[in-house]
Structure 1
Amino acid sequence: MTNPLATTTQPPGCGPKLLSKYFRLCDMNEIWGIVLEALAALGAVTTVVFILALFILVCKVQDSTKRKLLPTQFLFLLGVLGVFGLTFAFIIQLDGKTGPTRFLLFGVLFALCFSCLLAHALTLTRLVCGRKPLSLLLMLALAVGLSLVQDVIAVEYVVLTMNRTNTDVFSQLSRERRNEDFVMLLIYVMLLMALTFLAASLTFRGTFSGWKRHGAHIYFASLLSIVIWVAWITLLMLHHFDRKWDDTILSTALVANGWAFLLAYVIPEFCRLTKQQNPLDYPVEDAFCKPQHMKQSYGVENRAYSQEEITQGLEEMGDTLYAPYSTHFQLQPQNSQKDFSIPRAQTHTSPYNNYEGRKDGS
């Protein structure tokens, strides 16, 4: 019995028993599928290598603040791995199985990635200002909690859409309606992307420059993501494009965004992961206990050196002399009649000069 999904005209590069919906994975006439498949596979392998390296380097991270970021970065790598894996769902032909997968996982995976980047950016905004970073559990709660919102939105949309009819609703929808629903479903992800970009830009305003480099990684990763998303949404909403290019546009956006995450954020972060803790990246130990907005005074103010008092003293004393750059004691002229000269030795006539040993008149 012949499989109805198989076709008698096999494209060059595909096996004779391969189902038609997988032709893009091997069709030499549509080379874009093979190229994107190779790039997605390479990105997935690279991400797995970084995940394994994260477990190996966890004991070599000397900075306690960077060690708190490791669970969030692990979730981010899982999201990037899912982005590369989802590319195959867009290369394969749209049907009853790939349709729900596309609508469900596209927003969920990107929401997880941008939530992790946002949690990292928020703790960097505190570190560059000399404040304590967010705790490990709080960063995890932010990353997971923010991404769960998109999970609820996507699951609700897919369930409600598939319950309308028993037919293959995603493939039966018109191109305009399907693309509009797909973009509208990702509004929350776009909000996370914008917040991540804003939080990353705030890290450049701090005083501790060591953390600004980490903020720059998030800044460029989110900036590249914004450019990629603007490009694929614009192309997807154009009506003069043939519908066969929709899958090409979306799969290209997935691969490009996945590699943007790796090149702009993951690789630079791993290069600085095991760096020795720099004391200049942190305030002094008692900086968190010092009262703020108070004038600090060191020692007792010497009022003798007050320029205003010296000037007022000169005006009041009149003839009083003031010698600058000296001990600043007030010098006054004194008219003393005492003689303080050093006496010199003087010779006196001895009473014994005419003494001859006898009395006068003898």
Structure 2
Amino acid sequence: MFPVLLSIVLAILSMVVPSTAQGSPPRGCGSGLLSRYFYLCDLDSAWGIVLETIATAGVVATLALMIVLLVLIPWVPDQRKRSHIGIQFVFLLGTLGIFGLTFAFIITNNEQTCPTRIFLWGVLFALCFSCLLAHVWRLIRLVRTGNGPSAWCMLAGVVCLTLVQVIIAIEWLIITLVTNSYTCTSAYTQNDFVMILIYVLFLMAVTSLLSLLTFFGKHKAWKKHGAHIFVTMLFSDAIWIVWIVMLVKGNSQLGHRPIWDDPVLSIALVSNGWVFILMYIIPEMCYITRREDLTEIIDDGQPVRTNMYKTGVDNRVFSPDEPGQVNHMNVKPSAPPKYDNTIPMKPYQSEKEFTIPRPHTLVNGSSHPYEGYYGRQSGGL
């Protein structure tokens, strides 16, 4: 996986032309355009045009998925699956921001784009990985017990986890730009950029490890959701390892620093955004509307009744009468007992047989015509 990603990155980086951002406007750009925007329209250095096209397609796809996700809410049969929609919608908001942030890295780094890069990169990825971590936390409970925390608990966890990265980014900007009176571009180094993202790397590591725990449990229907997150984190980890290695060491060793720094970061944003869509959101949207069976097979092979139920009432008017089948239309529901009897009731059984008495003649001096009736057979005289 890593060699494939690295070869793709190098293929796109081969389109970079060092002299495009300076001098006269390149081919494809207007004469009055500022040099900081040259990569958006330069036909000779096509990496900017390629990445902005892919990022624009990602923005359109994310907006469409947000609308579809809202439309699918009434069609989700299981309330437990419906609880995931809230964090998935927030996850799509973070993905939309990631695609939009790509344009800040295609534009040349300056005093306007530098704070945006430093602040939004960590915050947006912290938001997305916090959503995945909250989803993993709930899936671990669902796989083991069949129930999990509510949607509001997950959203509160996402907000708290994201605020940590917000505080880290604000502190760095305040210390660098206000306290030390440095300009952002002069204080902005590759190593500092990676150091600000240590908390995001921690979220990624925890989410990757916890996603493995979703494969162990008796409720197998939820394991496929854990597999989506595991695959998403696997590709995301690979992307982050590649761009960090290229940014910190690879570009300098290849002799292309700082020309390749912005293209590497732009490629990382676009590729990770599409991994979020293709590996997580689209598979999840396919499964949340699927009606599961009423029984789930657990690990030891025994069926377990789930909380799912069929909606609607079966129409038995036209059901054929079969031998041994009870006609439900003619059976009246029994009224609930008025009092709760604590003494168990047994059906009354007669110990003696009662029949209509028959007159008979006196035998052996009997004084009463019905003497000896009780206990006689019904056919006796």
Bin for the TM-score computed over the shorter chain? 0.7 to 0.9
Structure of higher CA gyration radius: 1
8 Å CA contact retained: 1:7, 1:19: no
Give 1:29 deviation, angstroms. Answer: 1.5
2:219 pairs with 208, 219, 235, which one? 208
Question: Structure 1 187/84 Cα, relative in aligned 2: closer, same or farther at 3 Å?
Answer: same
Give 1:281 deviation, angstroms. Answer: 4.7
1:170 aligns with 2:184: yes
Report the equivalent of 2:203. Answer: 192
Aligned partners of 2:54 and 2:306: how far apart in 1?
A: 48
Aligned Cα RMSD in Å?
Answer: 1.8
Aligned partners of 1:192 and 1:228: how far apart in 2?
A: 15
1:151 aligns with 2:162: no
2:240 pairs with 221, 229, 240, which one? 229
Deviations 1:9-57 (A, max 9, x none): 1100111211110100000111000000000000111000000111111
Residue type of the partner of 2:220? S
Give 1:7 deviation, angstroms. Answer: 7.6
Report the equivalent of 1:10. Answer: 25
For this pair of structures, how many residues does the alignment match? 277
Residue type of the partner of 2:267? T
Aligned partners of 1:165 and 1:126: how far apart in 2?
A: 47
1:256 aligns with 2:267: no
Report the equivalent of 1:129. Answer: 144
Give 1:170 deviation, angstroms. Answer: 2.4
1:266 aligns with 2:281: yes
Report the equivalent of 2:63. Answer: 48
Map of 1:327-338 to 2, 5 A cutoff? Answer: none
Q: Given the two structures, how large is their TM-score scaled by the length of structure 2? A: 0.70
2:104 pairs with 61, 76, 89, which one? 89
Deviations 1:80-116 (A, max 9, x none): 0000000000000100110000000000000000000
8 Å CA contact retained: 1:211, 1:281: no
Report the equivalent of 1:296. Answer: none
Give 1:131 deviation, angstroms. Answer: 3.9
Aligned partners of 2:59 and 2:294: how far apart in 1?
A: 37
Identity in percent: 48
Deviations 1:295-336 (A, max 9, x none): xxxxxxxxxxxxxxxxxxxxxxxxxxxxxxxxxxxxxxxxxx
Report the equivalent of 1:35. Answer: 50
Structure 1 residue runs of 4 or more that deviate by more than 6 Å after TM superposition? none
Aligned partners of 2:207 and 2:22: how far apart in 1?
A: 47
Give 1:172 deviation, angstroms. Answer: 2.0
8 Å CA contact retained: 1:208, 1:280: no
Give 1:8 deviation, angstroms. Answer: 6.6
Give 1:285 deviation, angstroms. Answer: 6.5
Residue type of the partner of 1:229? W
Residue type of the partner of 1:29? D
What residue ranges of structure 1 are gaps of 5+ in the alignment?
1-5, 287-362
What residue ranges of structure 2 are gaps of 5+ in the alignment?
1-20, 298-303, 308-381
Question: Structure 1 7/212 Cα, relative in aligned 2: closer, same or farther at 3 Å?
Answer: closer
SS in 1 for 2:285: helix
8 Å CA contact retained: 2:212, 2:230: yes
8 Å CA contact retained: 2:80, 2:147: no
Aligned partners of 2:210 and 2:127: how far apart in 1?
A: 16
Residue type of the partner of 1:178? T
Aligned partners of 1:89 and 1:41: how far apart in 2?
A: 13
